Structure formats: structure tokens, C-alpha cells
Amino acid sequence: MELLIGIDGGGTKTDCAAADSTGKVLHLVSGKASNVLINGIEESAENFFGLIEECLFEIRADFSDIKQILIGTAGAGREEDANHIEKRLEEYSERERIHLNSVKVVSDAHIALEGAFAGNPGCILIAGTGSILYGKDEEGKIYRAGGFGRIIGDEGSGYTIGRKGLNAVSKELDGRGNETLITKLLNKEFNIFTTDDLIKKVYNEHLDIASVTKFVIEAAGEGDIIASDILKNESKELALHIKSMQNKMSSKKLNITLLGSLIEKNNIYSEILKETIKTNHPEVKITKPQNPPVVGAVQLAKILFSAKGGQE
């Protein structure tokens, strides 16, 4: 038996699929989060191999049947970082006395792109805690725009929107800004009534900045001007990612799938973004993903295995 393993190591959950050499999924399981940036490599590796064992048990196979493992996870966008994760996974498998034929680590965005367009050309715009745009052309070349992290990038993301929401609240509480419903919503949720309350919550209690985004979206939905302006400005930032990708791929006609907790479902932010794209980039077509990221991981595993001639 020749098996391929595809894994989507996310910050909320992990999906693991076992497939035959043609890419047909034989069994799919889900488990705990295994984002290496959040959970660490040791915990993530334990989750990865636990799910692989679960798949193998269900299809009555063992590790010797696996010809290629492909893992997509955050923090693997650069080759150097991906190689480091691969090395640590190999060290883990050696300690656990698990023989592996081949393990490849790529970014979570790469497997999402492969799944969304079933291996065909296209682009995915991701906006969750962070943001990035990935594209693939007719020749299979991969491009990216954005994805510089929360310190110098991640425009249009949950972190940026949440930070701007908190900034608006700080200005109101400090007497430097206008009233915003965001402040009232934070009062209700976190008992933030003064500047001291806000500072304590953010710096001492380490408030999850991105979690504030839901209050910005809620306020905008209620017609709050400040919240609405934040979302409009950030949607324009995401649209700039598209302009960059058009230049890099030398084509204005792009097929784009919207992914990530902020924009893949209907809410006022995704509506504003779609309208912004329609206005600024009418030649761009927004499509729905054909497959989930874990299937994209399987397809990439198949490509790697096939490149070796279907042999070890």
C-alpha cells in the first residue's frame, strides 16, 4: 500500500487526511490545534503524529506505507523556517522511533491555495488574525503579497482592525476623539470605563487584540461611523494586495477566493470588502473554494511523490 498524508495545522484545529497514491482521500480526522507558532513544534508534532496514527489505524496501515507527508502550517512561509520545522519533526520521529520516508512542510496559505482551486491557477486572499494574498499562475509559479506580520504588516487583518478599534476607544476615553459604540461594547464585555482600565487590560492582562475586531464589526453594523471608517480603510488595504498581485502576475483578470475568519463568511466587513474589490478591480472574479486546505495538502503530497517517479 502506498499512502500520502496531508495535514492542515491550524490555530483552532488540525485536519489530517490519508490518501492513496492517486490522491483519493481514504480517511479524514480532526484534532487539537497545532499551529507551530502558537503551540510550539513539540506539541504540534505530538498532534500531527497522533492524527496520523489514528488514520493508519482506521485504514489498517502503518507508517511504512506512507510515502509522503505534506504539512501546511503558519510560520513556514520562508524556506529557512520550513526547513527548521522539518528538521525538528524528524528529530521528534527519531525519538519516538517512527520511521518516515519523506516529510515536507509548507505554509498554510500554500495548501489553502492548492485546495481552493484544485491545483489550477488562482489566488486566495486570507484575512484572519493576519492577512496575506497568495497566487499561482498558469506555469505553477507561486506569488505572494502582504504577510509581513503584525508589527510591519497584516493590513486588513483582525489584529490591525482590533488595534485601530482600541486606538479609537483610547482617544474617546482620553478626550481626544469622538464617541464610538466600540467603547460601550468594550465597557460591557471587559468593564473598561477609564484609560487606566484600558491600559491594564491591554498591557497587564494581555488582551487578545484581534478579538476586539468582532466589536468593531458589531459597531459598524449598528451604523457607528468610526467603526465603519476603520473597516472601509482596511478593506482598501486588502484591495492594495490585489493590485500588487496583478502587477506580479502581469494580469488584471484574477480569480480570487476569500478565506479567513473575517471575510469568508457574510458580515459587514466582507460586504464592504467585496464592494471595494468590485469598485476598484471590476475585472477580478470572486469564487468559492473547491476543496478545503487539507485536500490541498494531499494534492501537494501527490505532486512531490509523483516527482520522485512514484518511488522512494
Give the Å distances, CA to CA, from 61 to 31, 67, 293.
20, 12, 24
Distance, CA of 156 to CA of 238 (rounded, Å): 6
CATH code reported for the domain at 3-118+292-307 = 3.30.420.40
Grid coordinates standing for 115?
485546495
Q: What is the pLDDT of residue 280?
A: 94
Radius of gyration of the chain (CA): 21
pLDDT recorded at residue 281:
96
* DSSP 8-state class, residue 204: I
Q: Which residues pair with 9 in a beta bridge?
A: 14, 73
105-135 confidence digits (pLDDT tens)? 998 889 999 999 998 999 999 998 889 999 9
CA distance linking residue 219 with residue 213, whole number of Å = 10
- pLDDT of 312 over the 60 cut: no
Residue 307 has pLDDT above 90, yes or no: no
- Going by pLDDT thresholds of 50, 70 and 90, the confidence category of residue 310 is low
123-287 has CATH 3.30.310.50 classification: no
Residue 74 cell numbers, joined = 503558519
Q: What is the pLDDT of residue 120?
A: 93
Confidence of residue 40 (pLDDT cuts 50, 70, 90): confident
Q: Which residues pair with 133 in a beta bridge?
A: 125, 145
Percentage of residues of the chain with pLDDT beyond 90: 68
Domain spans, the chain = 3-118+292-307, 123-287
Task: Kindly state the cell numbers that stand for 21.
Answer: 497514491
Q: Which residues pair with 55 in a beta bridge?
A: none
The residue-averaged pLDDT of 52-81 equals: 87
Residue 211 is given by DSSP the state: G
Angle, vertex CA 231, rays to CA 228 and CA 237, nearest 5: 145
Q: Is the pLDDT assigned to residue 99 strictly greater than 80? A: no
Domain 3-118+292-307 matches domain 123-287 at the CATH topology level: yes
User: pLDDT tens-digit profile of 171-219?
Assistant: 999 999 999 999 999 999 999 999 999 999 999 999 999 999 999 999 9
Give pLDDT, residue 202: 95
Alpha carbons 104 and 82: distance in angstroms, whole number: 8
Q: How confident is the model at residue 74 (pLDDT cuts 50, 70, 90)?
A: confident
263 phi/psi in degrees, rounded to 5: -125, -10
Helices (H), 130-288: 149-152, 158-173, 181-190, 195-199, 213-221, 225-249, 268-280
CA distances from 195 to 59, 140, 181 (A): 58, 52, 16
What's this model's pTM, rounded to 2 decimal places? 0.84
Q: What percent of the chain has pLDDT over 70?
A: 99
SS3 content of the chain, % helix, strand, coil (to 5): 50, 20, 30
